[in-house]
Structure 1
Amino acid sequence: MLRRAGLVATGGPAVIDLSKHEPVPDDVAPAPRPRLPIGMRFGGVVSVVWRPRPVIVTVIAAVGAFVFFCMSIRMGDLPLSFTQVVETLIGQGDALSTFIVNDLRLPRALMAVIVGAGLAMSGAIVQSISHNPLASPDILGISAGAGVTAVFLLTTGGAATGVVRYGMPGIALAGALITGVLVYVLAARGGMNGMRLILIGVAVNALMHALITWMMVRADIDQVGQAQTWLVGSLDARTWDQVIGTGVLTAIAAVVAIVAAFALRAVQLGDDVAQGLGIGLGRTRAVLLIAAVVLAAAAVSGAGPIAFVAFVSPQVTMRLTGLSSPPLIPSAAVGACLLAGADLVARTLLPVTLPVGIVTAAVGGPFLVYLLIRQNVRSSR
């Protein structure tokens, strides 16, 4: 039965009164639908979401890193022209240009890009797992753990025997892994909590720095000088062996992190959502934390514990991209750009050549204060 008088309560289904609903005029446009990210599917297995803003940020940061990389090769006590650099890179430069480019500046410039990208990805993973913007490998003690084993190697004659040149990546990785496992085990009891992770990381970080101080007090003055220069974070006098070792470790860990990016996005949504999507939280966190530790250890072995790059880069990237959590690949591009630019400033623009760690600390310290003030303001509301 169809009636136009209203809803009829009969034994059958209710009938909607069409007379009480005026027709929509033709000149009135329907309400706009919210714009969603564009999705692309490749076959029946792989699908991605196209977000223009993160892609633009990644491209701009990568271009900036490449510009700083080229400027680092050209600029110095003996400036080189673009033609001289190109001729040297293709093997047609003179002996002096070849020595300056291939032996002095090119390894340092490459190390800055690799270390910056590795630290930024490590910081993005740690901040995403802990749901805390203050978390980073240097604050949680992972970088200090790698520093303990590295300083032990430096203060026990490793530099004199040549072990530092080939064994530094492995021993720094061992120290970072031990420290990362210790922090994770202590923080994961009773469920992962961001604030507990930070507090335990700060305590472990203080313990590792105490061990470093104890070893330096007992070491010879020459060994102390080498260790102190390394602890500040410096890219000076990098060799191709160090570049290759750091690059291989960073590439392996970065591939693991990118493959686990879907699981990381699920973890960022919370434990309940991740479990609803079928993500094994314990296994996923362990794999991601190992990748973050390897990235941090590779960076520390190549350039020392450079401060605040792993902390600042993901937060800057998150604000530039407008996302709710730090993305991995854009963070890597921003980190490479940040460290390459800081090394260029430390080497060429300041009156005195300084280790790059001093420049990054000068930038990262005020940014940390800004984040602390902003979190206090939010919590007081």
Structure 2
Amino acid sequence: MTDEWGDGTRAVRVGGPGHAPGDPFLPGPVFAGTYHLPGEPAGPYQYGRYANPTWTGLETAIGALEGAADTVTFASGMAAVSAVLLGLTGPGDVLVLPSDGYPATRTVGAHLAERGVEVRTVPTAGDELERALPGARLVWLETPSNPGLDVCDIRRIAELAHARGALVAVDNTLATPLGQLPLALGADISAASGTKALTGHSDVLLGYVACASAELADRVRSWRSLTGAVPGPMEAWLAHRSLSTLQLRVDRQGANALAVAEALLGRPEVADVRHPALKGDPSYDVATRVMRRFGCVVGFTLADADTARRFLGALELVADATSFGGVHSMAERRARWAGNDVAEGFVRFSAGCEDTADLVADVLRALDAASPG
């Protein structure tokens, strides 16, 4: 029945146990470095670095949400990114990366370039991405991009890339599988940081790679076993527990994000308001074709770094923190980190699950407090 269920039902039900009398709704985490293994190695659980029943439940659940043939979880989002980029490319290959995506992804690309991989970095939006495809072995997309919130047409890029023999991987962190289904749009891999909206409580580091084929998943899983980039059983259990509220959270966060973005449009001291659901946003037309929900992140620019600092300091409901996707709203001046090509006054705002009216009022009041005079 999974294919017939709605998003909320699948988020609550997938990956759980059966209904045997006395069973818990979700079994507790299995803490095991070693399993009983008499005779020749057989069975799914042979050693703690290879597999764990708690990972299996979470991977089954995420795989059902992503529409994957198989899914592999990792200790962090960057562990998942690295497994794909390092595990699927080698000397002489061509790797295409977004120039406007998460800076650490480009850092991995720089390491690969030192080892003989040709790395082409191009913007998420526009025609340069298509022109970078010839000869590529792997195309990594981040859509919507972080922090600029540009969107590309996954289906079109996947068709063009596959015609040239390339694999396509999509960073689905911001959208979540309830906002966007890269595999259904033709991508080979959907990877994400589960640290963000997937788990949503700012208390877990986790990553995953969902694959359209079991063969790709086997390669990624082998990389995980080799490097030991495995999730802890408690983190995996917390992540699985959090999936049951995923739809509730992303719907509320998305509504809050759009409300904040619309309120910001009316403020003369705010420039370049970005959210994919805003009509008139540069990403709107493409986003409405490839996305089902539009995410919790809003981008906008204030006059300068000092104005942004005053704004962030005046907020009461919004934490000054470097993440997004949590139930608590958070924001930061993104230029404080190296590697982000944004204005000094650019603010990345992640809407949480607070009451919409309270959140919008807090933002507008903080803008008043930050304005000169």
Q: Could you say which TM-score interval applies, normalised by the shorter chain?
A: under 0.3
Which of the two has greater helix per residue?
Answer: 1
TM-score by length of 1: 0.27
Which of the two has greater strand per residue?
Answer: 2
TM-score by length of 2: 0.28
